[in-house]
Amino acid sequence: MDVSATEGSERRTQASSRAAVGATEDSGRRIVGGHVVTMDGAGGGAGTVLADGEVAWDAVGTLTYVGPARGPAGAGDVDATGCVVLPGLVNAHTHSGMSMLRGYSDDCDLQTWLGHVRDFEVGMSARDVASGLRLALLEMVTTGTTAFADMYHWDADLLAIVADAGLRVVAAPAVFDYDDVGYPGAAGPDGTGVLAATEDLAREFAGDDHVRLAFGPHAPYTCSPELYADVARRAARLGIGVHTHLSETRHEVDVCRERFGVTPIAHVERLGLFEVPVHVAHAVHATPEDVAILAARGASVSHNPVSNLKLGAGVAPLVALRDAGVPLALGTDSAASNNTLDLFEEIKTAPLLQRGVAASPDVVLGSEALAWATTGGARALGFDRAGALEVGKWADVVVVRADGPAATPLYDPVSFLAFAARGSDVRDVVVGGRTLVRDGRALTLDEDAILDAVARAGYRRAHDAS
Ligand SMILES: [Zn+2]
């Protein structure tokens, strides 16, 4: 069932018109030269790799040409000679507002960490949440991420910040339980209010290419069975998905078995959650039975290896999930448990971690990890026109410098992207035909103001909370 289209807010209209202006202001609608990695291949491959390629789009930001260069770069074109061109990366799991907590609690397990984080978060103001979001957007877009799934405090003003910046988001307003106020300092409502607000926002942004909503029940150890069953019914009625943490730690699984007699994944299945599209964060401790449930139900999984390693949560059964056909994507989780939002770290870590565990060098390929970070993420988030460079898809394009020491020699651009590239190598970023990053500098976000605001607000909050 589709959400009936409703009139957007004035805020949203303004944001959309700004995006449109941004698109028409760009004189160039072509990226010419360089190695173009299309990621358009089925079966998890990197698609076609063009040695001297070209990507072009029309006035509304739809790709009109992907192929060999049709001549040298002209005035107004982006010259990608010496670069690798690829689709925008998709960060399939993060909590943007938590960028304010980067480095705040580094060396403890999830449950202890959650306590530290909650102490900080309850005092965060609405301005703090917005500052954390802007910082996350700045870090993501300048490191090549163009779309992301985000579970945190969300309202129309925060969503307008994303639309103005030009990225794409699936926002899942976090729910802990009906009477829990997740973000009191930011005037966040209780869980009942968040569920109602999620429905309102989903209607307001229905059909929007940049902002989509999902329900965001936090986890089975914070949300009651009644709430999960309620979310499943609401999501089915509204035609939107659900994003939730499942089986992140051994402790979570043990507690769930004690309380409910089953694993977290079996628990929410029993509650009817998988009747609607579900995007799962983690699944680190998924059992073979859990993997079968996820595969049978078509639930996607965001694998977040750096966060899992940093919190000592364990190693996800990625190979079993992949082999069962579970749709996979990669996420950073928050900057508080990572501590960066540079998706290139996940692209490299995911295969290396599995290779180490399996003592096998080809159990997960670099090209697979790159596919999870592009096509896989786009599929998991429901952004069907993102994730690949193909005519008819959105012009979400990243240009990565490939002329430095770590890219030389460049036998294989896919190898470079998977194992040697860093977010700091990203030179240009285009989303929907609008240039968001040029020569490494964000055009739609004020870097100096964002860094200054977060540094000052973060310092104040850290000292108030201690
Ligand atoms: Zn998370």
Q: What angle do CA 259, 261, 264 make, to 5 degrees?
A: 80
H-assigned helices in 50-152? 110-121, 126-142
Q: Which amino acid is at 322?
A: R
The pLDDT of residue 396 is 98
Query: In this model, does residue 268 exceed pLDDT 50?
Result: yes
pTM: 0.93
The confidence score (pLDDT) of residue 41 equals 73
pLDDT tops 50 at residue 13: no
Give, in order, the Cα–Cα distances in Å from 190 to each of 16, 152, 179, 305. 30, 13, 5, 31
Sorting pLDDT into bands at 50, 70 and 90, what band is 45? Answer: confident
323 CA distance to ligand 1 centroid (A)?
24
CA of 318 to the centre of ligand 1 (A): 17
CA 6 to ligand 1 center in whole angstroms: 31
47 CB-near residues (< 8 Å, 6+ apart): 37, 38, 39, 40, 41, 388, 389
Across residues 370-387, what is the average pLDDT? 97
What CATH number should be reported for the domain whose range is 10-87+388-442?
2.30.40.10
Measured in angstroms, how far is the CA atom of residue 136 from the centroid of ligand 1?
14
Q: Residues 30, 445, 149, CA angle at the centre, nearest 5°?
A: 85
Share of the chain above pLDDT 70, in %: 92
Q: Of 446, 428, 449, nearest to 438 (Cα)?
A: 428
Say whether pLDDT at 19 is over 70. no
CA of 130 to the centre of ligand 1 (A): 18
C-alpha distances (whole Å) from 120 to each of 48, 66, 337 are 47, 47, 14
Rounded to the nearest angstrom, the distance between the alpha carbon of 62 and the centre of ligand 1 is 32
Q: Which of 50-54, 277-281, 331-335, 462-466 has the lowest mean pLDDT?
A: 462-466
> How far, in Å, is the centroid of ligand 1 from the Cα of 281?
7
Binning pLDDT at 50, 70 and 90, where does residue 360 land?
very high
The span from the CA of 384 to the CA of 202, in Å, is 18
Residue 95 C-alpha to ligand 1 middle, in angstroms?
A: 6
The torsion of the CA quartet 257, 259, 261, 267, rounded to 10 degrees, works out to -80
Token output for 119:
């102490």
Which pLDDT band holds residue 28 (cuts at 50, 70, 90)? low
The arithmetic mean of pLDDT across residues 380-400, rounded, is 97
Distance (angstroms) between ligand 1 centre and the Cα of 243 equals 10
Give tens-digit pLDDT for 60-98: 999 999 999 999 999 989 999 999 999 999 999 999 999
**Cα 72 to ligand 1 centroid, rounded to whole Å:** 45
Same fold, 10-87+388-442 and 89-381: no
The pair of three-digit structure tokens given for residue 370, joined into one six-digit string: 């790159």
Going from the Cα of 334 to the center of ligand 1, the distance in angstroms, rounded, reads: 6
pLDDT of residue 113: 87
Question: Side by side, which strands form the sheet with 35-37?
Answer: 49-50, 35-37, 83-87, 397-401, 426-431, 434-438, 441-442
**CB of 65 within 8 A of CB of 391?**
yes
Q: Measured in angstroms, how far is the CA atom of residue 356 from the centroid of ligand 1?
A: 24
Q: For residue 152, how far is its CA from the centre of ligand 1 (angstroms)?
A: 9
* pLDDT at position 455: 87
CA 294 to ligand 1 centroid distance, Å:
18
- For residues 217-226, give the mean pLDDT: 97
| Nearest alpha carbon to residue 324 among 350, 293, 353, 303 | 293
d(CA 148, CA 378): 9
Closest CA to 347 of 331, 323, 326: 331
Compute, in angstroms, the gap from residue 71 CA to the centroid of ligand 1: 46
Which pair of tokens denotes residue 402?
């490939």
Phi, psi of 90 (to 5 degrees): -120, 115
- Whole-number Å distance, alpha carbon 44 to ligand 1 midpoint, is 25
Overall CATH class of domain 89-381:
alpha beta
Question: Is the pLDDT confidence value at 2 over 80?
Answer: no
Cα 105 to middle of ligand 1, angstroms: 15
The domain spans of the chain are 10-87+388-442, 89-381
CA 99 / ligand 1 centre spacing (Å)? 12
| Span from the CA of 282 to the centroid of ligand 1 (angstroms) | 8
Here the tokens at position 133 are 């979001």
**What secondary structure, in 3-state letters, does 177-221 show?**
CCCCECCHHHCCCEHHHHHHHHHHHHHHCCCCCCEEEEEEECCCC
Give the pLDDT score at 87. 98
Query: How high is the pLDDT of residue 448?
Result: 96
